[in-house]
Amino acid sequence: MIGFYRVLLVVLPSAFRAEYGSEMLTLVRDRRQDEPGLVAQLRLAAELIPDLLSTAFREHLEATRRDVNLAVRSFLRSPLDPAIIVLTLALGLGANVALLTALDHVLVRPLPFPDADRLVQLWESAPLRGYREVQPSPGTFRDWEERTRALETLAAHTTTEINLTGGDGPPERLASCREAGRFFTLLAPRPVLGRVLDVGDQAPDATPVVVISEGLWQRRFGGRREVLDATLDLDGEAHRIVGVLPRTFSLPHRETDLWLPLRETAVDWTDRADHFLNVMARLRPGTTLAAAQADLDRVSADLAREFPETNRGSEAFLRPLRDEISGRRGTSLVLSGLAALGVLGIAAANLAGLSAARARRREGELTLRTALGAGREHLIRQLLTENVLLLTAGTALGLLLGAAALPALAHLIPDAFAVDDALRIDGRILGATSILATLTGFLSGWWPAWRITRRTSALALASSDRSGRTRSGHRFYRGIVVLQVAVATILLLGTALLLRGLATLSNVDPGFQSEDVLTLRSTLAGPQADDRVVRQRFYDDVLRRVRALPGVESAGFAGFLPFTMRGIVWPVGRSGDPTSQEAPVPLAVFREVTEGYLETLRIPLLDGRLFDARDEPDALRSAVVSASFARRIWPDVDPLGRQIEFLWPWLEGETWTVVGVVGDIRARALDRDPLPQVYVLHRQTPGLSFHAPRDLAVRSELPPESLAPELRRILGDVAPDQPVSDLRPLQDIVDAETTDRAHQAGLLASFAALAALLAALGVYGSLSLAVARRRRELGIRRAVGASTQDILSRVLRSGLGSTVLGALVGISAGLVLAPLFRHVVFGVPTHDPRALLATGGGALLLGVLASIGPAWRALRVDPVEVLRPE
């Protein structure tokens, strides 16, 4: 009993225990003597133990409160150090919090659909037409539905834009999704109102229905519940609203506002040659990706045998839906994540240095207190309290900064996740941050503190001895500074490369002139859309009026402006020339245009002519091709007058005659290898309403603010029920091509700047310490006549020494790592000399700036004061 109590005394704070521990034990002994007997003993124990625990708790709390007070007062006395520590921690942690959240969404979090890990996306190849990987055709989709054994639910959809007219509000053009198969069974969103679509809605005789987005519901219908069963006029056809989908459902795109069924009758489901569907599916439980692929291969083999004209050599692929959605963002995020960790590492190193310096400065005080009997536990406890306070403040501030930075990263969140959802720091991120913070705090605060108190205890017993022990510590500390500079240099190099890549990309010649061109999109809808004559009348009307506007130089329509459509790449061949089956089929970007378009974009004419009045609807079909196309198809001959064919079954036998050759443009993307282009005139092209021109381009010296209302007016006059969308200068479209990379570079640049700042602080701190430590030596040198230059060169050599070493290490490491991120940098080699030069220069500047303060102080050391007897 007594022994037990004595052992239990350990829960008390050491000071209290030292004071009163033995008395308490005596007391217990006395009471035990007074109350013998087992029952009394048990009663005693039941009384003593809770008393001990509650006393211990109260005393610990009391001690902590005292320590916190002391800590806060010491911070207020010299606020600079604690402020730097808190800020450093906050910046390092904040960056990581933001990135962890983004990374979580792109790589870790499951997609917000049921059994998301079993969701896949399917593609097929069409070697007969030269496609290595292409969207599946309707026929293939039906084949998969009927024949696969490994997939349990299949869904197909295609995205399109639909005109909404009538009702309250102006006509709008809305991003829409037409779904076939079991789209909503697969993704199972819970509607805010009403129901989702099902297979029954795809039946030929089903009532046309539509499901709208929550955004559209609020915007156009004010969130009224009566929206159900209301009718919308979509592309001229009445549709009944049967449901509203929540904002959190953002497949296929965040902007999607309408979901409609893809009717049985709207598509030829035996067509195995038209590739336009997005196909997703869920694997049967327990089926691996490999097994499903094997199953698909089996089906592909069967189809190739049964339908050789379309499917010979065709294969199918499937990939996890998650990978499809995250896409390229994964790599750039990992890059940023590493950068953030680097910043945190530098911050932690700085903190270690600062804490050690602070502790060393208080060495005298701590030594005295140890000598006077303050237990080591007490000192550790106090230093610990200070560090915990700083850590907590830094973490809290860091979380705030991180949360504030999240909107800037919103563009990195894939479409499938609703943005609102993403902009919250959730529990796991908080947990991960706390772990990071604790690790950082431990490495940078507590460990040095622990070592210091051990030293002070030893010092209290021995006489003060400064020399030996500090030298290895000094070397260690310098090593840390070199490491800090190295990490900062790596980040600087990365930034320099990204910026060079950005500059190179911005300088890529798109092949056309984008200044002074205003564009917009407007499509006929409904049954009119399918009539070529009606469409042409619309174009003619609009163009006539637009060209009549003063200040307008030229105007024309095209199917799709550059950079707005990555697809519509068609197989083209020489007419009358039996296309060899083995040769790779030439692919070209196919665009339907009206007269005036090529002139508006100032695409240079190299041979022959552009489209003009000679190209009547029923005359010989004309085509204008790009120079690379002509070179490819007719390498040694003049292409003018020769004929081409598009290798689609529905265009069999139709030929186009080349009347002109123009310069190549980058039609699909600025950073992709350009494919050759073929332009045809709308009024001569049969059918194909999807490719019919919808984008209007107008070249004019008028500023957009004056031209835009005029264009709207003209379109409103010619086609009042047709929405006008995407009214913007062509230059904006071109600039948007560099936006992603600009964001990336900006992100990395901020990290690099942060890292450089922190590393500079590290160099500054280390150099300050060195100067402080060598004051006597410097004073003596001064006294015996060392010049200003001499002192300066000593200090600078010390400071720049670490910097140069760190920079060299950093650049070498960067050169080794850079090839891993090669495809993130555009167009420059990873050892680009300008980038390397800039990086080296930056690192040197860092070192020089950091050395100024300490150098100044070194120069002002007064030899008299230093040499005075201590």
- Amino acid 178 reads R
Interaction between residue 225 and other proteins (CB under 8 A): no
Work out which of 14, 55, 504, 655 binds other proteins, going by CB under 8 A. Answer: 55
Contact letters for other proteins, residues 535-574 (x by CB under 8 A): ----------------------------------------
Interaction between residue 54 and other proteins (CB under 8 A): yes
Q: Total binding residues for other proteins by CB under 8 A?
A: 20
In this structure, are residues 41 and 32 in contact, taking their beta carbons and an 8 Å threshold? yes
Interaction between residue 155 and other proteins (CB under 8 A): no
Say which residues have a Cβ less than 8 Å from residue 305's Cβ, sequence separation at least 6: none
Shortest separation between residue 50's beta carbon and other proteins, angstroms: 8
Shortest separation between residue 67's beta carbon and other proteins, angstroms: 16
Q: How many CB atoms lie within 10 A of CB 67?
A: 19
In this structure, are residues 568 and 590 in contact, taking their beta carbons and an 8 Å threshold? yes
Contact letters for other proteins, residues 158-197 (x by CB under 8 A): ----------------------------------------
Say which residues have a Cβ less than 8 Å from residue 78's Cβ, sequence separation at least 6: none
Stretch that binds other proteins, among 52-60, 264-272, 379-387, 591-599 (CB under 8 A): 52-60
Nearer to other proteins, 69 or 739 (CB): 69
Query: DSSP for 480-527?
Result: HHHHHHHHHHHHHHHHHHHHHHHHHHHH---SS--TTEEEEE----GG
Shortest separation between residue 46's beta carbon and other proteins, angstroms: 11
Stretch that binds other proteins, among 47-55, 683-691, 698-706, 743-751 (CB under 8 A): 47-55
For residue 167, which phi and psi values (nearest 5 degrees)?
70, -170
Write out 235-261 in H/E/C secondary structure: CCEEEEEEEEECCCCCCCCCCCCEEEE
Nearer to other proteins, 374 or 627 (CB): 374
Angle, helices 532-548 vs 704-718, to 10°: value is 140
Nearer to other proteins, 56 or 155 (CB): 56
Nearer to other proteins, 48 or 707 (CB): 48
Rounded CA separation 98/514 (Å): 37
Stretch that binds other proteins, among 55-63, 194-202, 359-367, 804-812 (CB under 8 A): 55-63
Say which residues have a Cβ less than 8 Å from residue 373's Cβ, sequence separation at least 6: none
Query: DSSP for 422-485?
Result: HTS--HHHHHHHHHHHHHHHIIIIIHHHHHHHHHHHHHHHS----HHHHHHHHHHHHHHHHHHH
Shortest separation between residue 29's beta carbon and other proteins, angstroms: 9
Chain positions 7 to 36 lying near other proteins, rule: CB under 8 A, are: 16, 19-20, 22-24, 26-28, 30-31
Query: DSSP for 331-393?
Result: HHHHHHHHHHHHHHHHHHHHHHHHHHHHHHHTHHHHHHHHHTT--HHHHHHHHHHHHHHHHHH
Nearer to other proteins, 54 or 581 (CB): 54
Shortest separation between residue 35's beta carbon and other proteins, angstroms: 11
Quote the distance between the C-alpha of residue 413 and its chain's center.
Answer: 6
Stretch that binds other proteins, among 43-51, 205-213, 276-284, 808-816 (CB under 8 A): 43-51
Nearer to other proteins, 1 or 867 (CB): 1
Shortest separation between residue 37's beta carbon and other proteins, angstroms: 17
Say which residues have a Cβ less than 8 Å from residue 25's Cβ, sequence separation at least 6: 2, 5, 6, 9
Write out 263-275 in H/E/C secondary structure: CHHHCCCCCCCCC
Cα–Cα distances (Å) from 856 to 796, 852, 853, in that order, read 11, 6, 5
For residue 298, which phi and psi values (nearest 5 degrees)?
-60, -50
End-to-end CA distance of the chain: 57
Rounded CA separation 611/591 (Å): 13
- Amino acid 290 reads A
Nearer to other proteins, 47 or 297 (CB): 47
Shortest separation between residue 24's beta carbon and other proteins, angstroms: 4
Nearer to other proteins, 19 or 616 (CB): 19
Interaction between residue 58 and other proteins (CB under 8 A): yes
Nearer to other proteins, 51 or 777 (CB): 51
Shortest separation between residue 76's beta carbon and other proteins, angstroms: 24
Nearer to other proteins, 31 or 566 (CB): 31
Work out which of 6, 32, 59, 632 binds other proteins, going by CB under 8 A. Answer: 59
Nearer to other proteins, 67 or 161 (CB): 67
Quote the distance between the C-alpha of residue 347 and its chain's center.
Answer: 24
Nearer to other proteins, 7 or 290 (CB): 7
Residue 622's beta-bridge partner residues?
Answer: 657
Rounded CA separation 571/583 (Å): 12
Nearer to other proteins, 48 or 346 (CB): 48
Nearer to other proteins, 20 or 450 (CB): 20
Interaction between residue 51 and other proteins (CB under 8 A): yes
Shortest separation between residue 45's beta carbon and other proteins, angstroms: 11
Nearer to other proteins, 16 or 538 (CB): 16
Nearer to other proteins, 65 or 451 (CB): 65
Structure tokens belonging to residue 567: 């697809």
| Residue from 524, 384, 321, 482 nearest 808 by CA | 482
Work out which of 1, 2, 47, 240 binds other proteins, going by CB under 8 A. Answer: 47
- Any idea what DSSP says for residue 581? S
Shortest separation between residue 20's beta carbon and other proteins, angstroms: 4
Shortest separation between residue 371's beta carbon and other proteins, angstroms: 22
Shortest separation between residue 767's beta carbon and other proteins, angstroms: 46
- Any idea what DSSP says for residue 577? S
Nearer to other proteins, 22 or 270 (CB): 22
Shortest separation between residue 48's beta carbon and other proteins, angstroms: 6
Shortest separation between residue 68's beta carbon and other proteins, angstroms: 18
Shortest separation between residue 77's beta carbon and other proteins, angstroms: 24
Work out which of 45, 52, 792, 813 binds other proteins, going by CB under 8 A. Answer: 52
Rounded CA separation 700/547 (Å): 10
Shortest separation between residue 47's beta carbon and other proteins, angstroms: 6
Structure tokens belonging to residue 187: 């993704």
Interaction between residue 212 and other proteins (CB under 8 A): no
Structure tokens belonging to residue 541: 């009307």
Shortest separation between residue 51's beta carbon and other proteins, angstroms: 3
Rounded CA separation 582/130 (Å): 10
- Please give the residue ranges that form the binding site for other proteins (CB under 8 A): 16, 19-20, 22-24, 26-28, 30-31, 47-48, 51-52, 54-56, 58-59
